[in-house]
Amino acid sequence: MRGIEKSLDSFNAQGIRPVAISVDPPEASRNLAQQSGYTFPLLSDQNGDAIRRYDLVHAGAGEHGQDISRPAEFLVDSSGTVRWVHLTENYWVRARPEQVLEVAKLLK
């Protein structure tokens, strides 16, 4: 997420509004954003509705065996249509901001 924060100007120039979603409670997301200096929205999916809808559930992989989301990045257009998805099973592997920006340019 640090890479997203560092690339916000580039994302904004491409018309991309980054949003992070996690299963953490809202106060945990708020604290993380404040402590890390993130200025883009960090939303809570505490009940797992979004991760189920987008088939991202990593069952039992969270602390104390709760369901968490597989790492994923989406580009969603203004009509709500998912235009690109990057999924992985490895929590440490994420799409780089440069990769997302390049894909966004190709989708225009």
Assess contact for 53 and 65: CB atoms under 8 A: no
pLDDT (tens place) for every residue of the chain, 108 residues total: 899 999 999 999 999 999 999 888 999 999 999 999 999 999 999 898 998 998 998 888 888 898 888 889 999 998 999 999 999 877 788 999 999 999 999 998
Phi, psi of 38 (to 5 degrees): -75, 135
pTM: 0.82
Interacting residues of 72 by C-beta distance below 8 A, sequence separation 6+: 54, 56, 85, 86, 87, 88
Q: What is the pLDDT of residue 23?
A: 86
The answer regarding whether domain 2-107 maps to CATH 3.40.30.10 reads yes
- DSSP structural state of residue 38: -
